[in-house]
């Protein structure tokens, strides 16, 4: 399996990603610098977390002006699988590949904690070992993690099964507050076609990667 990771200035979680993917069997990881124009052949394209371009203007905003942005769009529009984590989620929204946007957390400051995400019934299947309704515990480290979208977009997301993860409490009940105030407690969404996924939490930072490998591999491994 070939995995490509797009690197922008200050994409500081790349090291965690490379380390996480190094634990996968038969995986080759390639970095793509933001000044490159094409993605090439790869099984999975990952947009990493961090604070690309130091979050100037707004998180992910300046990535629209990079050479690689057209390549990311083309790769996604041709059906390639794209995973955005943290800032990568913000970038996919900015590029118009995912609906909605991410704003400052409801609490108004950086949140560094562990959250529970419930796997929702969606267009993305992570396989039988990662069931709908199951909760996973993941690190969250962000200031701009409050998912917002207009009323119609939210309705469409729910009806089209594009909500992939939702913040829940320890009992599996929906929890909008711990999840930084995201509307409908949305923690991760996919596009209409189900080949682009974004989430704010960081599976690559989990100590036991095996538990979350289904997220990091977009369901390739089960």
Partner 1 sequence: MRVVVSVRLKDGILDTAGREVAARLQSMGYAEVTDVTTSKLITIDFDSGDRANAERRIDQLCKDLLANVSIEDYEIISIE
No. of H helices and E strands in the chain?
5, 11
Structure-token pair, residue 176:
């909008």
Q: Check binding of 150 to partner 1 (CB under 8 A).
A: yes
Smallest distance from partner 1 to CB 64, Å: 6
Question: What is the closest distance, in whole angstroms, from the C-beta atom of residue 141 to partner 1 in the complex?
Answer: 18
Write out the binding residues for partner 1, residues 158-187 only, by CB under 8 A.
Answer: 181
CB of 167 to partner 1, least distance (A): 17
In the range 46-65, which residues lie near partner 1 by CB under 8 A? 57-58, 61-62, 64-65
Burial pattern 145-174, b for ≥16 Cβ within 10 A else e, equals: bbbebeeebbeebeeeebbbbbbbbeeeee
What gap in Å lies between CA 18 and CA 36, rounded to an integer? 19
Q: Residue 58 or 123: which CB sits closer to partner 1?
A: 58
What token pair was written down for 200?
């704010």
134 binds partner 1 (CB under 8 A): no
Rounded to a whole number of angstroms, the minimum distance from the CB of residue 103 to partner 1 is 7
Residue 5 DSSP SS3: strand
The residues of the shown chain that bind partner 1, judged by CB under 8 A, are 57-58, 61-62, 64-65, 94, 100-101, 103-106, 108, 148-150, 181
């Amino acid at each position: 399996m070939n995995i490509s990771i797009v690197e922008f200035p200050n994409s500081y979680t790349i090291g965690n990603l490379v380390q996480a993917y190094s634990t996968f069997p038969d995986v080759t990881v390639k970095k793509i610098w933001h000044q490159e124009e094409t993605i090439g052949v790869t099984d999975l394209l990952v947009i990493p977390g961090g604070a690309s371009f130091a979050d100037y203007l707004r998180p992910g905003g300046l990535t629209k002006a990079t050479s690689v942005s057209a390549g990311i769009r083309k790769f996604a529009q041709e059906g390639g699988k794209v995973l955005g984590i943290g800032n990568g989620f913000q970038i996919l929204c900015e590029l118009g590949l995912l609906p909605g946007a991410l704003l400052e957390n409801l609490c108004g400051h950086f949140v560094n904690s562990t959250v529970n995400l419930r796997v929702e019934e969606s267009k993305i299947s992570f396989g039988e070992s990662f069931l709908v309704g199951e909760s996973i515990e993941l690190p969250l480290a962000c200031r701009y993690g409050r998912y917002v979208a207009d009323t119609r977009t939210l309705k469409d997301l729910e009806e089209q099964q594009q909500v992939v993860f939702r913040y829940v409490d320890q009992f599996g009940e929906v929890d909008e507050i711990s999840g930084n105030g995201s509307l409908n407690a949305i923690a991760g969404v996919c596009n209409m076609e189900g080949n682009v996924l974004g989430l704010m939490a960081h599976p690559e930072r989990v100590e036991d990667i095996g538990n979350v490998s289904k997220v990091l591999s977009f369901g390739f491994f089960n």
